Amino acid sequence: MNMTKPGPVQFAASILLASTAMPAFAQDPDRASGDAQEMPQENPESGGVGTIMVTAERTSRSIQDTPISVTAVSGETLKATGAVVINDLAATVPNLTSTTGPQGSADANFFIRGVGQFDFIVTNDPGVGLYVDGVYLGRTVGAMLDAGDVERVEVLRGPQGTLFGRNTLGGAVSVVTKRPELGVVSGDAQATYGSRDRIDLDASLNLPIGDTAAARVYGFYRQQDGFADNVVTGEDFGRIDRYGARAQLRFEFGPDVTVDLSADYSLDKSNPAPSVLRSILPLPFFPPAALNDVQDPDNFYDIFASNSPEARNEVYGFSGTVTVDLGAAELKSITSYRVLDGFSTSDPDSTRFQLYDQLVSTEQDQFSQELQLTGTAFGDALEYLVGGYYFSEDAAQVLDLCFAPISSPAAQPFQACNTWTQGNDQQTESFAVFGQGRLSLTDSLSVTLGGRYTWDEKDIISNQFFDFRPQLVGPGAVFGFGLPPELIGEAIVLPIVTDLPGSASFEKFTPKIGVEYEPNPDLLFYASYSEGFRAGGFNGRLIAPQATIPTYEPDTNETFEVGLKSDLLDRALRFNLTLFHSQYRDIQQTIADPAVQFRVANAGDATLKGFETEIAIVPTTGLRFDFAVGYTDSEFEDVPVTVGPINGNRLPFSPEWTISAAAQYDIYLAGGTLTPRVDFRYQSEVFFTAFNLPFEEQEGYGLLNGRITWVDPSETFTLAAFGLNLFDVEYFTFGQNALASQGVAYNYLGRPREFGVSAGIRF
């Protein structure tokens, strides 16, 4: 297997010697991108690092004046690094990881500093909040958003419980799309062709509607053949097939009222990421030939599967934002309604036999309403934000698991097998009031106080059905008919739980306290204490009869941070550093349990400590280096005996080191601008579950991407050639060792090397 294994120190040294660095900050406009509006420079003549405005505190503010650990990545940088979906952010942001999870579908599961959630079941909430234009997305299923026509993405590290709210105890990922511009006719289009017949099409158009309104429409199409071959059927796995569109309207009713309306739709029919069998036990009901389907490291992308995993995720939504200038204050209303219809299948055993096949269907709709009032008082000495929030969600999900074949051997696809079906229909209502104020004590010193009170109410109806039958016993046995006398008593065909209701409520106050010291406009020191909260919930996988649905308690994250942000050498050098220490309590963790297969448990506590440092260097016009290092020390503590032996283990998806680097150089020619760029990301060893078992780990590895772009002198036409994973590193993105509960251990495959070219036009 082609794995890279150098340690973080060696990687850091090699990166520095190569003079490359990571795009930890959103890139400034250059003559290659021509997007000066998106990334304004403060001193373009000297080629400085520039300024980007972010809304990490729910109001627009320079990233260097924002006293939290936040990374902003522009849409142009996402494109330059090869990012196609929001999950690809993990390649550019320190202490951020992501996974599609155990279904390998279009899910977006983010982890920041070791805090997150990889389970797709609707009774579990994410630990990192995902927002689009201020709207919270309640489910990770189907949330793998396209990265096209994005102005920027902000990654806020650490608890954001005050301003962003529930389920942001690890942090938040905030996507800001490009909005309509009044009085401007503009547009762009881009086509990409690459390895495995990759075809990407993107187009956007901005049109004014009179003097006080404008519209923007955007559409995309993605298609690519798979990268793993089923040696049994000849099919390829890991195919991409998705498309979508977004339409936006902006109205300005006089100088004081702005209305933004948005509607979006996407359909993802991609073939889920392929999985491979890493180990298998010789259980009595497993065909002996299944042992031959364990992955051969020399044929990394050869797979065996009894079915063809498919997925279909249809997502659409509407939102309206009204902003009213009240003079001394600004009132903002954000209203949204969203719908998800998801379906995916998987083959967890990864053999040519139907040992374990899973089907998951998810239907969800959500409504949210947020009000914000921002302003200043006491001669602008006090900046404040107060608000209220309401969130309502209906989520229905069915899990079908086919296992332990009825017929023996289980040799054919879709052959009859024992089934376990779990249904969960959950309603959630959440209310919150919040506020934050920053008071300037002197010209250089200020203090911040904030807090949020959240009430969550969850109601569920859960049902379950088992169908266990001996060989040759037909489905009529479910009604008590069709059993030969000699088999009476051997068949188990009955509903175990039917319409079992549950209800739970949770409430929490999450405060924030901060101190900021700014001796000059280019230097900021800050210290803060903040808390995050995730509501408890129900265990949505019931294996044995229960009188009530088992529940688990909320988890919380209490974090201290100290940091500095600095622009030096006439803003040719940017150096930012954050140190953090967190107490992560009553951790919600999906664990394997031989008695019930999988359940969510409060798996003790953890002390999280580490840092993020980000450096940007612009020594001369057109030349830029970025470098970033993230370090997280995570370890389970005080784990209940009922959870299992995980004391001292690392948290899932919490690598100790993330080291990222990028470099680009604009070469100005008579025929335009030529910009070569390289991006590199190293991630140290990571475990996929809390048990840190063999076959649940990915050794440290690094990925190198490259791109060279030409832009004509008028900045109208663009040509580019790129390569992703240039060293063709073989790696896993998720895995579970279920030998004790299911007799198999399996992993999902990462994408191999690919090349491509693209051409674009803008006006």
pLDDT the model gives residue 497: 54
Six token digits for residue 698: 């990915």
Return d(Cα 557, Cα 94) in angstroms, integer. 19
pLDDT the model gives residue 546: 72
Q: Helix, strand, or coil here: 39?
A: coil
pLDDT the model gives residue 545: 66
The DSSP letter of residue 255 is T
pLDDT higher than threshold 90 for residue 691: yes
DSSP-assigned beta bridge partners for residue 130: 137, 173
Return d(Cα 367, Cα 369) in angstroms, integer. 7
Q: For residue 422, name the pLDDT band (cuts at 50, 70, 90).
A: confident
Average pLDDT, the chain: 87
Ranges assigned E (strand) in 41-158: 53-54, 61-62, 70-74, 96-99, 109-112, 115-116, 128-132, 135-137, 150-157
pLDDT the model gives residue 595: 59
Is there a contact between 602 and 553 (Cβ–Cβ < 8 Å)? yes
As a whole number, mean pLDDT of residues 226-241 equals 91
Question: Pick from 708, 714, 718: which is nearest to 675 by CA?
Answer: 708
pLDDT the model gives residue 658: 97
Six token digits for residue 155: 């990654």
* Residue extents of the structural domains in the chain: 8-762
Six token digits for residue 628: 């970033």
pLDDT the model gives residue 401: 84
Q: For residue 337, name the pLDDT band (cuts at 50, 70, 90).
A: very high
* Cα–chain center distance at 325: 34
pLDDT the model gives residue 57: 92
The single-letter code of the amino acid at 314 is E
Choose the CATH number for 8-762 among 3.10.50.40, 1.10.10.1200, 2.40.170.20, 3.40.718.10.
2.40.170.20
Q: For residue 97, name the pLDDT band (cuts at 50, 70, 90).
A: very high
pLDDT higher than threshold 50 for residue 210: yes
As a whole number, mean pLDDT of residues 462-481 equals 58
Question: Pick from 708, 634, 640, 646: which is nearest to 672 by CA?
Answer: 708
Question: Pick from 131, 87, 90: which is nearest to 240 by CA?
Answer: 87
Q: Helix, strand, or coil here: 490?
A: coil
pLDDT digits (tens, 9 = 90+) for 444-455: 999 999 999 999
Share of residues in the chain with pLDDT > 90 (%): 70
* Neighbouring residues of 166: CB distance < 8 A, sequence distance ≥ 6: 125, 129, 391, 430, 432, 454, 456, 533, 534, 535
Six token digits for residue 405: 């074949």
Peptide bond into 409 cis (omega under 30): yes
DSSP line for 210-238 = TTTEEEEEEEEEEEE--SEEETTT--EES
As a whole number, mean pLDDT of residues 240-250 equals 97
pLDDT higher than threshold 90 for residue 415: no
Is there a contact between 3 and 729 (Cβ–Cβ < 8 Å)? yes
Question: Pick from 724, 720, 730, 728: which is nearest to 758 by CA?
Answer: 720
**Which of 55-69, 351-365, 390-404, 589-603 shows the lowest mean pLDDT across its residues?**
589-603
As a whole number, mean pLDDT of residues 460-464 equals 90
Quickly count helices (H) and strands (E) in the chain. 2, 46
**Which of 115-124, 305-314, 351-360, 488-497 shows the lowest mean pLDDT across its residues?**
488-497
Share of residues in the chain with pLDDT > 70 (%): 87
* Cα–chain center distance at 670: 42
pLDDT the model gives residue 358: 86
Q: For residue 39, name the pLDDT band (cuts at 50, 70, 90).
A: very low
With vertex at residue 439, the alpha carbon angle to CA 448 and CA 575, rounded to the nearest 5 degrees, is: 60
Cα-Cα-Cα-Cα dihedral sign, residues 370, 160, 506, 464: positive
**Which of 229-233, 507-511, 712-716 shows the lowest mean pLDDT across its residues?**
229-233
